[in-house]
Structure 1
Amino acid sequence: MKNSPQHIVVGPAEHGVVTYALQLCDALNVEPLCFESWQDLERALPLTLETQSVHICFTDHLLGDTPARAVQLMHRLGEQFYLSISFHDVPQVQEGEERFASRTRAYVELGERADVLVVNSEHEAAFFRRHCRKAVYPLVLPLPLAAVETQGNYRAKPLTEQPLDISVMGFLYPGKGHQELLESLNGVNANVRALGKISEGHDWLLEKLEATAQNAGVGFEVTGYLSEPELEEQMLRTQIPVCAHRHFSASGSLMKWISLGRRVLVSDNTYSRELAKIWGDFITLVPNDEWARVIKNLPADFSRRLEAPTNWTWAHVAQGYERAWASGIFPEQDPHTLVEREPRNWPSVSVVVPYFENPDGLTAIFRALEHQDYAGKIECIVADDGSADTPPVPDNLSFPVKVVRQDNLGFRAAAVRNLGAQAASHDVLAFIDGDTVPRHDYLRHAVALLTHQPHALVVGTRVHGDGKEPAWLQDAWAQTNHLAKADDSAWRFIISAVLTCSRDFFNRVGGFDESMVGYGGEDWEFAWRAWNCGARFWHSELAVADHPEDDWGERFTDDTAAIAQKNWESVMLAQRITHPMARPSHTIFTRPDIEILIPEEAKFWQPGVLETVIEGWLALPGVHIIAPWVESAATVFTADPRVHLLKNGDAGLPGGNHGTARLRVHLLQATTVENLNDIYRVENHDGNALLTDSTGRKKFARVDSARWRSRRANASVACVGAGRETEDASPLVASSAMVPAGGKCSTFTVEAQWTIFDEPVRLEGFFAGW
């Protein structure tokens, strides 16, 4: 995987977390950097690696002698690298109040630091969302179904044959549930076998369990260490598999039972209910240690082996990690190098053709698709924008064609493209206008980057009647290295006539804006939202399509008509694109470009300070204010739609515009600034920066971009079914501690004049300009 970080594995190979880490490396076909202990890693720091990012499977037990020491070690790694962290042994209240508190502090601190945060269950994701002060976006990748080594056709006896053979797989340690299981089986004709050995330091447990079994009148045996084939044979021969641990949040032993096609009794908890929704045929939930009652009511064929599922393997888990790393959190490689690499598999493509009464053009497109050298599956969706006649489709094409239609209610390019996308069934959407004919290798070049970067937005090369692209686009490609160096203004170079992206990312962006009716602009508006959703723009000069007509600028003989059409497009975009290049600077719009979040802190509550700070920011273009409700400020700004003063309990902003801003400024001081240059430059760097004076001691504000926030969220939906927070969890009115989550955060020295108000302000003088 091109964006894969260096994997660091710490601890002995037999430890479950280390086993997980090594199996992940095998699935990804990468070579890990291994250390026997955390002390070895500590001595090796700082590391010299070719990558800027690392991945580590974290449990505090392996990374330090205390939870705090483990986090300190991870912070040292974070000083050098972007951090992708898979969290294991997530804290639970059953550990005891003191231990739970210390481990929670460590996991929360590290979870807020991680650039990619991975857990094995929604139950664990909820832990981070509940305890972290900052917005975090856990990616949920359940433990995979295990590989099966045994080839024997071992069978268990039916439950009619007694005494019943009941087995618990895995290391024995306090809290694993053996004790509760044995106590519950009092009076049941059964033998309980523990398939595994006693955990180091818990030899005393054997005597206690044997005494409990004797009191309950059941047999008990500990097999000790079993090789993998021996273990699988025993698991297949047992009549009743059991996972008795009451407080687990991820279980390799449960996944192993399911991998063997065994139905298993599992303690009822949040995690087991989560898995029962996926593999309900294999999981029988047991509430409140009622093992005896549930066992007595099992069907006689409960021990019969089922066909094992294959819907969540290491290959699926590896793909989930790869897509998270490709989401744009880590520094991205140059697309020029990525598109030259043959992908593992070419995705299926839906070619979406907006159409209006141009049968000859459509026939030419069908002919061109017939001759594509693309190795994956394709289909064509013809989206008709209200033609008088149904678009003609030839018989015997080598690919399927769907025709979808909408009424003729004007030029509705945005709506008709969405209509086509909704009908698509493949992974990639390739939009090609009905008067534009792709060359034989168009799809191969248009799709190449998407196989490496699923959030890419690829614009092809549309040549006109003179065999060239318009000069304004040629200049754009030269200035941006074919958009490899795109910035926040590059939406101006995206044209939907030759546009390709993944269907998943298209849906995440929200498709085209169907409220836009009339010629032009819908592609720029879509590209603007895509950029803020973390899109990777790319111009593929080899994905060439022919457009026999002239470019827009050459079609008019009447300059007035051309200007009128272009002006209408500009007016439509000014309402939707908040960038300063798209709207007049002194006009008030309902959709902000920049949100200023003013915290509920005493220094903002001195007389006159809040009003002064709000007024200072409103003098700058595109700014909206979110601040705590103060009666005097509410009285002054009651008629200004840009000021949102929230009382305790307020759920959101009028009009639902919160979160649409390109940039968000969390003020750390009661301050104003003479211009927005310091804030604007955050967008095209890391998108997450702390603004300070030259000494670093004065901290003015924390700035983050919608693009940065979206990329973090994108990493949490990197696989189907991943748990995610759909809303930004950061508060509307934040304290200075409640700043955006993140690993890497740039520190910028401010260049503009920032004024701090640390004393009361007499508003009479401020209003009069004294």
Structure 2
Amino acid sequence: MSAPFGRPIIGNRWDAAADAAEPRSVSVIIAHFDQQRELDRTLAALRRQTHPRALLQIIVADDGSPTPPVVPADVTLARHEDRGFRLAAVRNLGVRHSTGDILCFLDADTAPEPDYVARITRLPSLAPDVVAVGRRRHAALADDDRPIELAGPANEIAEPAWLDDAYRRSRDLLDADARSYRFIIGAVVACSRWLFDHVGGFDESFEAYGGEDWEWAYRAWLQGAAFAHVPDAVAWHDGPDWAGRDEADRRARKNEETLRLMRSIRAPGAAPFALLGPNADVLVMLRAAESVAAGVVCVDSLLQALPDARVVVPPAVRTALEADPRVVDDWQGRTRVEVEVPAPVHVDSDAALRLRAAVAAVGDGDLGAIAFGSHAIVRASRARARDARWGAPTGWRTETRSAASITPLHDAPDLEAYFGGWWPPG
């Protein structure tokens, strides 16, 4: 499916996009559960958007409220039954009723200022790989019925300092990396429908508060999305950030969220140090092996360098190593980095350090791949995915590094000597 509009960017350089974008059709999807007053405020704010009204579709996606919400005739209401907290599922429900080029997600208790839609959809309208996140400010709005751009500042309460600091340090996510999914807040996010369809919907197995937006954002990153924070796209949340709640309750909920995310996200700093999960940060692909012994030595040395990787090997090598769950003959899970090894090699400790450094580096900025001569290439999954989505190269850079201490195994090595520690000679 080719892009319906816009053009690819290089790396995460959303700042290189043109200054102005043609307004595109936007579907605003408001997740709601039993918050009629807050919903009324958000709908009123959407009535006063500067984005052309003819290009604005408003959908209220209701998570099974006891009483159906009341919405104006020109607002689409989509509902499913109450089966507990299902924010991921209700957002997907809203998407299924959408028709816009751009999807703009809000929560019922998060009311946008008049320029919000125009500002947060500008980048996805220019470069459909961009996931834009607005600025969610907080206010104790209570019974203040003034327009949100007045009521919000008059009743403002503290924003999360960690989030503000992250946007500042990353230059509004221009310097995003594999852990920047933590700064994508689902209540104030927009993306192209084209990208959403490629990434897939929110994971509906998330049936408790928190995490569904981060899981989706990480998946989008692996699919080549670029992240951008748009600080002047402001929406006001009624009440404090959930991190301001009782500390014991906050920690318990955060631990539950982290355990859910652990199954999906294996990026450094987000996953256990030794425990395996259904996904892996690195996938190694050994394409061929002239001998099983060479394949065994190759896989063993690569797993010493990258112990939590999954390794796809030829069938004969897989049979010899079937006791190790990291060695597989096929892989459908998600990974951040792919290491392609055309033929067996031995990686010593010095080369292992360089290999680990390459795994850490690819995917950030415009660095798509690092080649170690003809022996191995380390490639960011997101670079491959973006190129595939556009059907052409999208500007990722390939760097060449020293292949020293990566030794080709042209002949079958002596396994007893290798296991015993006296191979290779010298």
Q: Give 1:589 shift.
A: 2.0
Paired position in structure 2 for 1:624: 310
Paired position in structure 2 for 1:563: 251
1:747 maps to 2:424:
no
Paired position in structure 1 for 2:142: none
Paired position in structure 2 for 1:674: 352
| Cα distance change on mapping 1:515 and 1:549 into 2, 3 Å | same
SS for the counterpart of 1:711 is: helix
Q: Which runs of 5+ in 2 are unaligned?
A: 140-155
1:701 maps to 2:353:
no
SS for the counterpart of 2:324 is: coil
For the 8 Å contact 2:12–2:174, the answer to whether it is kept is no
For the 8 Å contact 1:687–1:703, the answer to whether it is kept is no
Paired position in structure 2 for 1:712: 387
For the 8 Å contact 1:585–1:621, the answer to whether it is kept is no
> 2: CA distance between counterparts of 1:365 and 1:442?
12
| Cα distance change on mapping 1:331 and 1:489 into 2, 3 Å | closer
For the 8 Å contact 1:460–1:498, the answer to whether it is kept is yes
Q: Give 1:599 shift.
A: 2.1
1:519 maps to 2:209:
yes
SS for the counterpart of 2:41 is: helix
> Normalising by structure 2, what TM-score?
0.86
Paired position in structure 2 for 1:598: 286
For the 8 Å contact 2:386–2:394, the answer to whether it is kept is no
SS for the counterpart of 1:524 is: helix
| Cα distance change on mapping 1:579 and 1:744 into 2, 3 Å | closer
Q: Give 1:685 shift.
A: 4.5
Q: Give 1:756 shift.
A: 5.0
> Normalising by structure 1, what TM-score?
0.49
| Cα distance change on mapping 1:404 and 1:752 into 2, 3 Å | farther
> 1: CA distance between counterparts of 2:158 and 2:253?
24
Paired position in structure 2 for 1:536: 226
For the 8 Å contact 2:12–2:227, the answer to whether it is kept is no
Residue type of the partner of 1:608? A
> 1: CA distance between counterparts of 2:185 and 2:396?
33
> 1: CA distance between counterparts of 2:132 and 2:14?
14
Computed over aligned residues only, the root mean square deviation of the Cα atoms, in angstroms, reads 2.6
| Among candidates 112, 117, 131, match of residue 457 of structure 1 | 131
For the 8 Å contact 1:516–1:522, the answer to whether it is kept is yes
| Among candidates 306, 316, 324, match of residue 640 of structure 1 | 324
> 1: CA distance between counterparts of 2:176 and 2:404?
25
> 2: CA distance between counterparts of 1:334 and 1:431?
20
Q: Give 1:763 shift.
A: 2.6
Deviations 1:616-675 (A, max 9, x none): 233424311111122xx4444213232124xxxxxxx36x33xx2221111145133534
Deviations 1:544-589 (A, max 9, x none): 0111211121022xx3322221111111111111212221121122
Residue type of the partner of 2:170? T
| Cα distance change on mapping 1:355 and 1:767 into 2, 3 Å | same
Residue type of the partner of 2:65? S
Q: Give 1:760 shift.
A: 3.5
Q: Give 1:380 shift.
A: 1.2
For the 8 Å contact 1:678–1:752, the answer to whether it is kept is no
| Cα distance change on mapping 1:493 and 1:752 into 2, 3 Å | farther
> 1: CA distance between counterparts of 2:399 and 2:51?
46
| Cα distance change on mapping 1:530 and 1:757 into 2, 3 Å | same
| Among candidates 190, 193, 205, match of residue 500 of structure 1 | 190
For the 8 Å contact 2:132–2:189, the answer to whether it is kept is yes
> 2: CA distance between counterparts of 1:598 and 1:368?
56
Residue type of the partner of 1:674? A
Residue type of the partner of 2:339? V
> 1: CA distance between counterparts of 2:405 and 2:84?
50
1:402 maps to 2:87:
no
Paired position in structure 2 for 1:373: 50
SS for the counterpart of 1:374 is: coil
Deviations 1:301-338 (A, max 9, x none): xxxxxxxxxxxxxxxxxx96x64xx123x467552x64
1:213-612 correspondence runs (5 A): 323=6, 326-328=7-9, 330=10, 334-335=14-15, 338=17, 341-343=19-21, 345-375=22-52, 377-394=55-72, 400-465=74-139, 466-556=156-246, 559-602=247-290, 605=291, 608-612=293-297
Deviations 1:49-73 (A, max 9, x none): xxxxxxxxxxxxxxxxxxxxxxxxx
Q: Give 1:753 shift.
A: 6.3
Q: How many residues align?
A: 398
Q: Give 1:352 shift.
A: 0.4
| Cα distance change on mapping 1:484 and 1:422 into 2, 3 Å | same
For the 8 Å contact 1:590–1:641, the answer to whether it is kept is no
For the 8 Å contact 1:455–1:534, the answer to whether it is kept is yes
Deviations 1:521-545 (A, max 9, x none): 1111111111111212111111001
Q: Give 1:591 shift.
A: 1.7
> 2: CA distance between counterparts of 1:582 and 1:331?
22
For the 8 Å contact 2:11–2:395, the answer to whether it is kept is no
Paired position in structure 1 for 2:148: none
> 1: CA distance between counterparts of 2:17 and 2:380?
26
For the 8 Å contact 1:509–1:530, the answer to whether it is kept is yes
SS for the counterpart of 1:564 is: helix
For the 8 Å contact 1:687–1:707, the answer to whether it is kept is no
1:762 maps to 2:414:
yes
Q: Give 1:442 shift.
A: 0.7
> 2: CA distance between counterparts of 1:742 and 1:327?
6
The range that moved more, 351-360 or 377-386, is 377-386
SS for the counterpart of 1:464 is: strand
SS for the counterpart of 1:460 is: strand
SS for the counterpart of 2:93 is: helix
| Cα distance change on mapping 1:678 and 1:756 into 2, 3 Å | farther
> 2: CA distance between counterparts of 1:614 and 1:584?
22
| Cα distance change on mapping 1:463 and 1:749 into 2, 3 Å | same
Paired position in structure 1 for 2:150: none
**Structure 1 segments of 4+ aligned residues over 6 angstroms from their partners:** 741-744
SS for the counterpart of 1:674 is: helix
| Cα distance change on mapping 1:552 and 1:690 into 2, 3 Å | same
SS for the counterpart of 1:369 is: helix
Q: Give 1:742 shift.
A: 8.9
> 1: CA distance between counterparts of 2:27 and 2:272?
39
| Cα distance change on mapping 1:425 and 1:689 into 2, 3 Å | closer
For the 8 Å contact 2:132–2:228, the answer to whether it is kept is yes
Deviations 1:227-285 (A, max 9, x none): xxxxxxxxxxxxxxxxxxxxxxxxxxxxxxxxxxxxxxxxxxxxxxxxxxxxxxxxxxx
> 1: CA distance between counterparts of 2:298 and 2:412?
12
| Cα distance change on mapping 1:667 and 1:595 into 2, 3 Å | same
> 2: CA distance between counterparts of 1:614 and 1:333?
36
| Cα distance change on mapping 1:472 and 1:750 into 2, 3 Å | farther
SS for the counterpart of 2:88 is: helix
